[in-house]
Structure 1
């Protein structure tokens, strides 16, 4: 499957950089990449693929190989993009600035008063990366490992390489998401590049309107990302009340639907927001109840995939969060909808089952 990406972003998360070298997102071989996207699929015990069967399989694409395909490498291995990227932090932690945050910490601690946001941010005086993900209790502070709790459900991750001059803007975005930071290092010479991040690690966050913020960020190679963030005082559905009308397109959303207060698909405006009920890849199918990833996809001429960390549930209307969107050429199948009908479209790489309200 060939995909052309022109990227947008909505995210909160992770940056990394090496003194005197290129601190960047890495592919499975440790090569620098401008960005990548990982979709970890749920564990399916009846699937013949051993990685899918054990809950350690993932689809991968990046700017240099825009073919969304199933990786042959386990997420437990250090020979895959996520591990290669994070290894820079473990190896260079005394030379770089970095922040790790997660509302569900590796030690099982949870903090519902902070933003529902997960990521790693790292940089030096030249470049850095931001890894935004949906994985609870990840990553560990000192070495790479894939958590046992993350094998069962689907997860999503996006990594983008930035010049260090972009970190101040990212730090300002993090004031809205109010992340629960569990590990960080800000050397004085690097912290001067990002004064907003100095405040974030001390708990600084927005306390007056506006309660949301959108910025355009450009990757190391000049790829545009659009980043949406909201604070808990926004008190609205990020997807329906802001993103869809702002992009002037309907959205198909895949978010965690197993909790209380699930928001139904909303077909009451010019830009519908529809809950996905099933994902279908060439190698595996699964329902949204098995998926912890956070993503949204447009179904108009503006073809965008959004990756982030907020669910469509009532409780998270009042939680800080962000979403990352990627503009992409994509084709999908919608065999079932939540508003009263069924629609089927041809697809090359992924099928989506949507649910419409009665």
Structure 2
């Protein structure tokens, strides 16, 4: 009788477990940022180490686990996709312009990578830079073999249900490549653009870019930028720097073709990062860093943004975006990473 009473008390709590970002301590968090380090040495863990921060860390901390573990922030958060839900009333969209290897890449769509998972109360939007990741929901959490060598970036934010109306619209602008999705009727009525994005639909008329303030479950503001291919310009020098009213330094993949040089032709300048360092043991070139982020040079106000698009000629003509935070700790944590950047000619 006592056991039945205890289960009757516990079951509503278990059934109502919220979908959320999970931090490195295994507990729900409002948001987190993860920076996977490049393969920097010959240790068994090389290529799996990461740096971590959330609302309570005050800046970067060493990752508590490894990227391929479900104990990591990214692993535990995404493991909600692979574990049976107490309630099957969920929606999800996994998208990547370089999907898992058994799916075809699509270079004509947006240069975008991310995961959306939600129920009728809350959910998360994870924006990242890792090709062939994560596995579809009929498998289990794993780290792709191609992604050990280079640095990668992740931002996860927990949002209340109705914020996914705007998230869905941003994904329409981004022209995502979904490779695994489910947006049931009960969600699509409330979130029509999320359903449309999951079906590979896109915006059909100008304007070809959209910014929106998204408010997290705990009330923190994030500024989301999303551009369509028809925007026809660099995301950073052609738009973000003007909105944030500051010079920018952008970290992105410097090994692609047609890299755009640093740009000083606008009111606010945009510079390409060349060398990143957390400390003497984690000091590396942007040529081994596939992460996508930018930081304002000005600290008044200071912005840091994490996204999924590069600065190159091809990606001027592709969709993509970035998610920005005006947070002094986050701004400083990224600004101090830039040890060298390309000046304008």
TM-score, normalised on structure 1?
0.86
- Report 1 or 2 for greater relative contact order, CA contacts < 8 Å, sequence distance ≥ 6: 1
Which of 3, 26, 29 in structure 2 is aligned with 1:30? Answer: 26
Structure 1, unaligned runs of 5 or more: 1-17, 334-346
- Structure 1 position 68 matched with structure 2 position 60: yes
* Contact 1:30–1:85, Cα closer than 8 Å, also in 2: no
What is the number of equivalent residue pairs in this alignment?
A: 323
2:81: which partner in 1?
89
Distance 1:251 1:174, change over 3 A: same
Whole-angstrom distance in 1 between the partners of 2:34 and 2:25: 15
1:355: which partner in 2?
342
2:295: which partner in 1?
297
How far off its partner does 1:192 sit?
2.0
2:108: which partner in 1?
113
2:171: which partner in 1?
174
* Contact 1:162–1:219, Cα closer than 8 Å, also in 2: yes
Looking at secondary structure, tell me which structure has more helix per residue. 2
* Contact 1:167–1:193, Cα closer than 8 Å, also in 2: no
Distance 1:92 1:168, change over 3 A: farther
How far off its partner does 1:20 sit?
2.9
* Contact 2:183–2:198, Cα closer than 8 Å, also in 1: no
SS of residue matched to 2:82: helix
Task: Kindly report structure 1 stretches of 4+ aligned residues shifted beyond 6 Å.
Answer: none
Alpha-carbon displacement from aligned partner over 1:95-142 (angstroms, at most 9, x marks no partner): 311010000111252111211100010111100000100000000012
Structure 2, unaligned runs of 5 or more: 1-13
Alpha-carbon displacement from aligned partner over 1:32-73 (angstroms, at most 9, x marks no partner): 100000001110126xx653xx21110000112233122141
Written as runs of structure 1 = structure 2, the 5 A alignment for 1:33-182 is 33-45=29-41, 51=45, 54-92=46-84, 94-107=88-101, 109-141=104-136, 142-182=139-179
Which of 163, 172, 190 in structure 2 is aligned with 1:193? Answer: 190
SS of residue matched to 2:130: coil
Alpha-carbon displacement from aligned partner over 1:260-297 (angstroms, at most 9, x marks no partner): 10000011222110000000112311011001000000
Q: CA RMSD in A?
A: 1.8
Larger Rg: 2
Whole-angstrom distance in 2 between the partners of 1:75 and 1:40: 7
Written as runs of structure 1 = structure 2, the 5 A alignment for 1:327-346 is 327-329=326-328, 330-331=331-332
1:286: which partner in 2?
284
Whole-angstrom distance in 2 between the partners of 1:356 and 1:332: 22
Give the stretch that moved more between structures: 238-247 or 70-79.
Answer: 70-79
* Contact 2:24–2:63, Cα closer than 8 Å, also in 1: no
* Contact 2:273–2:338, Cα closer than 8 Å, also in 1: no
* Contact 2:111–2:318, Cα closer than 8 Å, also in 1: yes
Whole-angstrom distance in 1 between the partners of 2:61 and 2:24: 13
How far off its partner does 1:189 sit?
1.6
How far off its partner does 1:248 sit?
0.7
